[in-house]
Each structure stands twice: as structure tokens, then as C-alpha cells.
Structure 1
Amino acid sequence: MKTLFRVLGVLVAILILLFVGAYLIYNKPLPEGNSGPEADRLANKMMSAVGAENMDQTNILTWTFNGTHHYLWDKKRNLVEVKWRDNQVLLNLDEWEKGKAYEEGNEVTGNELDKKRGKAWEIFCNDSFWFIAPTKVFDEGVERSVVKDEDGNDALLVTYTSGGVTPGDSYLWILDDSGLPKAFRLWVSIIPIGGIKATWEEWESLSTGLKVATNHRLGPVKLPITGTKAGGTFAELSIPNDPFAVIL
């Protein structure tokens, strides 16, 4: 038993040293930028590059994040269907109490309903950000500034001071000459190392004109986005009936 504890102690010490080493090597301080018209100009350039002006006519969106979380988002009515494993949750984001949840096809109620809705909301906030974050840089509570990236080019620093699950997170957008995102660096509460880089690549134009990146790489981790569809009505997406009728 003493030998086991010694081995575990050595392993813990190694893990701590690896983390400290990674922190010292990769951690970057949050840069300071200049806010104002130039930052807004750069943000508008990115918005234009991804076709954000088409969001108003993109009423319905579907996608799958990392092969495990499946979404049907009625953006116009602020309704979301979230599916993962054996769970299906219908969220009414304007009237929370109307949301319903199902596990293996059976409706859940009480505390379990609250847990399912909370989980669905949490993963929707995360996964929708990876899907349409470039269109959200003028949301309420967002601060924008311009900084120089490692190549000396203008990059857009965006901080979300409110909203979502983890307000206060910051992202440094690295753009190509047209304003299309190539990657961003993250300073977020769930990752202790600041400035980690995630790619935005394999861009796809949806039927409404909105562009979305269908693959991200965060270090060695790939985060693919599949099953992307967009439209103005359910019929355009070959959905015959209103899937949200039970929560209206």
C-alpha cells in the first residue's frame, strides 16, 4: 500500500510539473488594445466576410457539434431543440418554464427537468458560439479593440462582459486579408492557460448566404461541425411539422 501511495505521489508530482511547464511555455497575458471606430471597422469587416447580414433571413439552423450534440434552432422564435445521447430537450428561451425534456423518449419532470434544461442551455451556449461567434461581436455587453498579432497585422480583441455561461471571456480574432477568421486565441475561465489558439477553417456557405467554419483545431483536439443547414422555414429544411408546438 505504501508503494502504491509513493507511485501515485510521483505521478501527481509529474502531472503538476507538466502543467507548470505548459503554463510557462504557452500562457500569454491578455493583450491591451485600442477601442473605438477602428475596432468597429475591423469587426464590421469580419461580419461582412462571414455574411452576417444574412442572419435576419436565417430563421432556422441545424448543426451537430463534435459528433455528439445535435441542434435545431428556431432563431426567429428563440426556441432550441438539443439532443445528446438519449436526451432530447426543447428550450423556450423566452419562457423558460415551458421547456420540456425527454430521456429515452419518456418525458422527465421536477428536478430532473431543471437539470436537463440547464445542461441543454450550457452546451447550446458553448456549441452555438463555435458555430456563429463571428456574427456576435456587436451583441450587448461586448467590448471591441484592435491589437497587433504576432505577424504585426491588426487583430480584433473581443470581450463578452455579460451574457452566456461564462461572462468575462475574451477572444483575439486573427483574420485574413478579406476579414475571414483564420483562428482566435482564447482567454476563458474554463481553460487555465491564456491565449490558446483555436483554428476556424473549412468554411461553408449556407443556403441563406451565411458562412460557417465546419472545423476547429484546439491544440491536438479537433472539433468538427457537421449537418449544417439553414433556411427561412421548416419546410425548406424538409421538416413537415413544427417540432416546437408542445412548448408554445
Structure 2
Amino acid sequence: MKKIFHFLLKGILALVAFLLVTFIVLKLVYNDDIPKGIPGKPADEMAFKILDAIHHKEFTQAKEIHWTFRGVNRYEWKLQQNMVDVYWDDYRVSYQTQYPKISFAFKKGKRIEGEEKQEAIDYAAFNFNNDSFWVVAPHKIFDIGTTRELVEENGRQKLLVKYNSGGTTPGDTYLWEVDENYQPIAFKMWVSIIPFDGIEAKWSNWEMTAGGFPLSRKRTLFGIEIPVTDLKVIP
């Protein structure tokens, strides 16, 4: 019995050591400072070119966007009503994106109140803010509370977007890289929920939707695809 215990203990210690070394290595590799760029007109001009490339006007006119994230959270976002139905387990929250206090929450089809209601709304809000970003992030570069800077790196122009207020994690910063047509292909991020600085996520496989604007169908981080499925636009 003691031999088994010592074997398990050694295994746990080895795993902890491996994870610690991996964390240290990643922290050393992904330790970029946020670059400094030129704010004002030059940055905004680039931002408008990106919005033109992704048909932002058509995006704002869409009725609904549906998707599932991680196979757990399902969304039916009604853009014109500033409302999204969020489904998970036995819950559904009709979350009002501009006025969260008037949101409704249901469990097994029955309306809930009190602390359980608030917990459900908080869950819906946090996850919608995160999960929708992985679907429509390029359309949010002029969100309220954002600032933009034009950055020159390796002879290429990039757009730095800082989210100074609003959302779930204010202070997050993203450096967008685009192709020759100003369509986004990747961003580096400095975000509070990830302990590494300057991690790159790639955006690819852009396809036109029924709403007349394209969406990326593949986003990868460390080569692992971000799990967005059942993506559909209702014009």
C-alpha cells in the first residue's frame, strides 16, 4: 500500500513540476509589451477600412445571429432588439444587452426569481460577452469605451484596440493584423483572464453569410480551434 502511495505521490509531483515548467516557459515566450502606436485619425482610418472589408453596415442590419460555444452555451442574438436568448443545461435567459436589469430567466421553462435569477443572468452576461467576441470581434473596434492606435510592425500596419470600459473585463487590448484587403487574419491579445501577454489567435476561413457580411469560420489559439459551431445569420 505504501509503495502505491509513494508511486502516486511521485506521479502527482512530476505532473505539478511539468505544469510549473510549462507555465514558466509560456510566460517567458508570451511576455510582449503592448506596442505604442499613433492614435486619432490614422488609426480610425484603418479601422474604417477594416469595417468596410467585413461589411459592417450589413452586420448592423442583421436580425439574428445564432451559434453554440463549446457545445454548452447556445445563443440566439436578436441584434435589432438588443436582446439575446442564452441556453445551457435547463436554463434560458432572455438577456437585455443594454438594460440587464430587465432580463428574464427560466429553468425548465418556468420563470425564476431572486438569487437564482441573478446568478443565471450573471452567467448569461459573462459568457455572452466572451463567446460573442469570438464570433464578431472585428465589428466591435468602435465600441463605446474603445480607443485605437495605428501600429507599424515589420513594415505592416496593424490596429491596436483598447477596451477601456464596458464589457466583463475592461482593460483588455487587442492588436489586429489584416491582409492586403484589410480583412482580419489574426490578433494578439493582452487580457485579464489569460496570464500570458501577446498570445496570438488566428482568424481564417471567412465565408459570406445570408446577412450579406462575412464571418470567420475558424479561429485558432495555440493551433487549437475555438469551439464555435452551428453559426447562422438570419437577415
Q: Same fold (TM over 0.5)?
A: yes
Structure 2 unaligned segments of length 5 or more: list them.
none
> How many angstroms apart in 2 are the aligned matches of 1:37 and 1:212?
27
Instruction: State the partner residue of 1:223.
Output: 226
Instruction: State the partner residue of 2:192.
Output: 189
CA offset digits 1:9-63 (Å, max 9, x no partner): 4443332222111211232221111112211111111111100011332132222
CA offset digits 1:181-239 (Å, max 9, x no partner): 1111111001111111111111121222222112110114211433333335xxxxxxx
Number of residue pairs the alignment of both structures matches: 231
Q: Does 1:115 align with 2:152?
A: no
CA offset digits 1:97-127 (Å, max 9, x no partner): 4322223334332111110110001010011
- Go from structure 1 to structure 2 and tell me whether the alpha carbon gap of 1:6 and 1:66 turns closer, same or farther (over 3 Å shift): closer
Asked whether the 8 Å contact 2:60–2:79 carries over to 1, the reply is: no
The one-letter code sitting in structure 2 at the alignment partner of 1:182 is I
Instruction: State the partner residue of 1:14.
Output: 18
Q: Does 1:79 align with 2:80?
A: no
Give the counterpart of 1:29 among 33, 40, 50. 33
Give the counterpart of 2:209 among 199, 206, 209. 206
> How many angstroms apart in 1 are the aligned matches of 2:228 and 2:18?
35
Instruction: State the partner residue of 2:72.
Output: 68
CA offset digits 1:49-108 (Å, max 9, x no partner): 100011332132222223332111111121110112332111123443432222333433
Give the counterpart of 2:182 among 179, 182, 188. 179
> How many angstroms apart in 1 are the aligned matches of 2:214 and 2:192?
28
Q: Does 1:159 align with 2:169?
A: no
Structure 1 unaligned segments of length 5 or more: list them.
233-248
Secondary structure of the residue aligned to 1:145 is strand
> How many angstroms apart in 1 are the aligned matches of 2:231 and 2:17?
44
TM-score, L = length of structure 2: 0.89
Q: CA RMSD in A?
A: 2.0
Secondary structure of the residue aligned to 1:76 is helix
Asked whether the 8 Å contact 2:210–2:233 carries over to 1, the reply is: yes
Instruction: State the partner residue of 1:124.
Output: 128
Q: Between the two proteins, what is the percent identity of the paired residues? A: 37
> How many angstroms apart in 1 are the aligned matches of 2:96 and 2:186?
32
Secondary structure of the residue aligned to 1:117 is helix
| 116-125 or 15-24, which deviates more | 15-24
TM-score, L = length of structure 1: 0.85
Q: Does 1:92 align with 2:96?
A: yes
Structure 1 residue runs of 4 or more that deviate by more than 6 Å after TM superposition: none
